[in-house]
A and B are shown apart, each in its own frame.
Chain A
Amino acid sequence: MSLSLQRRRWLWGYAFIAIPLFFFLFVRIGPTIYAFWMSLHEWDPIALDRPYIGLENFRTMADDETFWKSLRNTWIYVGVGVPAGLIISLLIALGLQRMIRYTGFFRVLYFLPYITSLVAVGWVWRWMYMPNGLFNDILGWVGLGPYKWLGSPDMAIYSIIATTVWHGLGFQVVIFLAGLESIPEDYLAAASVDGASGWQKFRDIVVPQINPTLVFLIVTGVISNLQVFTQIRAMSSGGTGGPLDSTISMVLYVYQEAFQSLPSHMGYASAMTVVLFLMILAITIFQLKVLQRDTE
């Protein structure tokens, strides 16, 4: 019996997505569901039994000071890091777009940090932040400082945010440039003819036109800042969460509880990832619904 063309197409389609589907089911979705399961247990991978304890892990979280600190810090990473990164990279992109000469060189220059390993970046910045490091030397010449930077519970988190913003700049600049270059010249030319000022053109033409770019960068920026980990570990001595846990993020705390603590609190760590998962899910849905407006 021969298959109809329709059916054959259908089969080929599924054949092609079978491998990615398999990958997603077993490598992505499976472990996620498994983590939900683990979050309901007192789960120590080495112990012989892993008793079911219902929602006890979630109740522990409510009284756990470090958890609340990590949650608060995570929101500082998002709330400060994302807007700062977007504003700076948009300014740079606008500048780069106007450049006539050496455009390629400057674009490469801004993109370089992004392709550098975050661990290496973290360590180099850690040296620059040292009490007798580059930043204090420079500030010393103009009579400021010395500052404690990573050694201060108040400054440490912002020092790490600065590194994160610097590292992500190249990626955001490139995406902004693509968005900016897709704006039809005619719109801007017409606005100029009508006598619009630079600011008016930016507000009424550029921003609405790059809205999809903006949404994309906000969503990816928020997600990556919610998951911030590597730079905190690289920039704190001993891989802890900074002085008095002042830089600890949720992901870092999850890692500590699951893999650094002995006995391992894998169940508790899983419960925290469930909370993080729900947070990211809610934010992403919200952003896609609210920020994604059609431009006319």
Chain B
Amino acid sequence: MGSSEFDPKSVLRRAADRRSVLKYGAASAGAFGASRWLGASAQDASPAASPVDGPADFGTGSLELSGDVTIQYWQYELAAKTQLVEELIPEFEEANPGITVEHVNFPYDDFRQQVAAAVQAGEGPDVLNVYYGWIPAYVQQQFLVPLPQDIFPAEVIRDAYFPTVQVAEVEGEYYALPTAVRTLALFYNKDILEAAGVEPPSNWEELVEVAKATVQKEGDNFEVVGFTWDIGGQGHNWWREALNRQNGQIPYTDDRRELLWTEPECIEAFEYAVSFLTEHGVTQAGFQTDGATAFAAGKAALHIDGSYRLGSLAIDAPDLNYGVVPLPEHKEKASFASFWANGITRNAAEGDKLIASAKWIDFLSSAEVQRRWTPAIGELPARQALASDPALLENEKLVAFIESLPYSYATFFVNESTLRQAVIDAFDQVVLNGVDAETAVAEAEAQVQEELDEYFAQLD
């Protein structure tokens, strides 16, 4: 049927031809490459160091509109994010006369539903703030169109952004660009650790020891868990991207086509995670409903979570005395990264809407906005050069997350919800039904591999 009618690439090429020549050149790409993460001194990271580090870093300022245009920007409702974007919109509109940005929000739980309903009704966003794990599906549906290569060259993004952002690249093209990224790290309750006379753990063995030293039980009932058990929360990410890699095994091949979960190192990592529950008796499933709640209530010594948790803890548990360290390492260092990114939908595939959308995305990922983003939201700058900003490193709770950035990995999802469920089920099979780890993981792998195969068969 009619899929041949729509070719986002040719539409964009045509749109690009109509525009004036872009100011972007190889020199600025080189400037990005020079100020590499951690290799860069504080001076390199300052605004003056990069020639493209202005209000419109990808040079969309020179693009001309043929008239007034309104674009719809959709993102889910998270107070801190929506507030900041509400502040940013007037600034953007002032700098770009003729463009009006309509900001549409909805609850996170309704995200996929709202987008689907709007698209079915022939409406929907021009620019969508999307969870990176949903990008492949939206690309497959031809809902997201590639970011115009002449404005957002893939090699520049590859160089300037943290490697984790490359997961937004499908077949050599970027479909979305983040403002910020998040990593996982280990939260620890200072009071509980101090009372037990232990230091925060830095490797696998210490993690077990500290959890054992801090757990408090009364008979069979837990008063304080040594380490939260929350597979449905961040636990599944922790195993997939952190534990496996720390144990020396990548969880899937570099071309993302084949899962390697049943490699012995992955099974070993899986069993290591399970041992906290079954062997060491330091934690409990469903304790205080979930890990984040238990930690906020001061009833957990150790808890793995993302940088965005800093913001919610500040609100929910302002008096909690806690610190954050990088995830305990093993043979190697690794953490899980994730991000929300801005992509252009097929509603804005050409003409002024495309230009306005490109300008808006350029603005949202500009150095200036990235700098303002971290203190307001708790997410980390997506550009390598900005993350070494000394101002950020002054916040001791952020340091662990920032340090983890160079070795943090995002998972390539074909269907995020089924992959997550498959991993949760594997853990449940082992913990609740006594199935051996290898069988349970193999079952999960087969299920997810089938979806990967289907996806790539369609792509090829």
Contact = CB atoms under 8 A, between A and B. Distances in A.
B417 A260 contact: yes
A30 interface: no
Contacts of A48: 2-3, 5-6, 141-142
A244 B221 contact: no
B284 interface: yes
A131 B284 contact: yes
B199 to A, nearest CB: 27
Contacts of A256: 417
A104 interface: no
Contacts of A3: none
B384 to A, nearest CB: 29
B287 A47 contact: no
Contacts of B223: 132
A150 B287 CA distance: 11
A262 B417 contact: yes
Given A45-B117, A46-B141, A131-B286, A264 B222 contact: no
A208 interface: no
Interface string A127-149: 10011100011001000011010
Given A153-B432, A259-B113, A262-B112, A237 B141 contact: no
A260 B134 CA distance: 11
B107 interface: no
B429 interface: yes
Contact of B286 (A45, A47, A237): A237
A263 interface: yes
Does more than half of chain B's interface fall in helix, strand or loop, or is it mixed? helix
Given A48-B2, A237-B290, A263 B137 contact: yes
B458 to A, nearest CB: 11
Interface centre among B5, B109, B428 (most CB of A within 10 A): B428
Contacts of A56: none
A151 B287 CA distance: 10
Interface centre among A44, A131, A153 (most CB of B within 10 A): A131
A151 B424 CA distance: 13
A167 to B, nearest CB: 19
B418 interface: yes
Does more than half of chain A's interface fall in helix, strand or loop, or is it mixed? loop
Interface residues of A, number: 37
Contacts of A150: 286
Contacts of B425: 244-245
Chain B interface bracket (under 10, 10 to 19, 20 to 34, 35 or more): 35 or more
Nearest to A66: B421
Given A46-B115, A262-B417, A127 B432 contact: no
B287 A130 contact: yes
A231 B293 CA distance: 20
Given A45-B117, A46-B116, A243-B428, A131 B222 contact: yes
B432 A263 contact: no
B354 to A, nearest CB: 18
Interface string B107-132: 00100110111011000000000000
A44 B138 CA distance: 11
Contacts of A46: 115-116, 119-120, 138, 141, 143
A152 B2 CA distance: 48
B426 to A, nearest CB: 10
B120 to A, nearest CB: 4
B417 A261 contact: yes
Contacts, number: 103
A244 B432 contact: yes
Interface in A237-266: 237-240, 243-245, 256, 259-264, 266
Interface string B288-313: 11100000000000000000000000
Contact of B221 (A49, A140, A245, A259): A140
B406 interface: no
Interface string A265-279: 010000000000000
A262 B113 contact: no
Contacts of B220: 145-146
Interface string A142-177: 000110101111000000000000000000000000
A44 to B, nearest CB: 6
A150 B112 CA distance: 27
A131 B229 CA distance: 13
Given A45-B119, A131-B286, A259-B113, A240 B421 contact: yes
Nearest to B424: A240
A233 B433 CA distance: 23
A263 B413 CA distance: 11
Contacts of B222: 131-132
A237 B289 contact: yes
Contacts of B112: 259-262, 264
Contacts of A153: 428, 432-433
A95 interface: no
A198 interface: no
A259 B428 CA distance: 24
Contacts of B1: 49, 51
Contacts of B418: 261
B416 interface: yes
A178 B331 CA distance: 71
A56 to B, nearest CB: 15
A257 B358 CA distance: 33
B113 to A, nearest CB: 4
A30 to B, nearest CB: 15
B96 interface: no
A263 B141 contact: yes
Contacts of A243: 428, 432
B232 interface: yes
B428 A244 contact: yes
Given A126-B289, A130-B286, A259-B116, 19 more contacts: A45-B116, A45-B119, A45-B120, A46-B141, A130-B288, A131-B222, A131-B284, A132-B284, A132-B288, A146-B220, A150-B286, A151-B286, A151-B432, A238-B233, A244-B425, A260-B417, A262-B138, A262-B415, A264-B112
12 contacts: A44-B141, A45-B116, A48-B2, A49-B2, A131-B222, A238-B424, A243-B432, A244-B433, A259-B112, A261-B112, A261-B415, A262-B112
Interface of B: 1-3, 5-6, 109, 112-113, 115-117, 119-120, 134, 137-138, 140-143, 219-223, 232-233, 284-290, 415-418, 421, 424-425, 428-429, 432-433
3 smallest A-B Cβ distances: which pairs? A45-B116, A45-B120, A49-B1
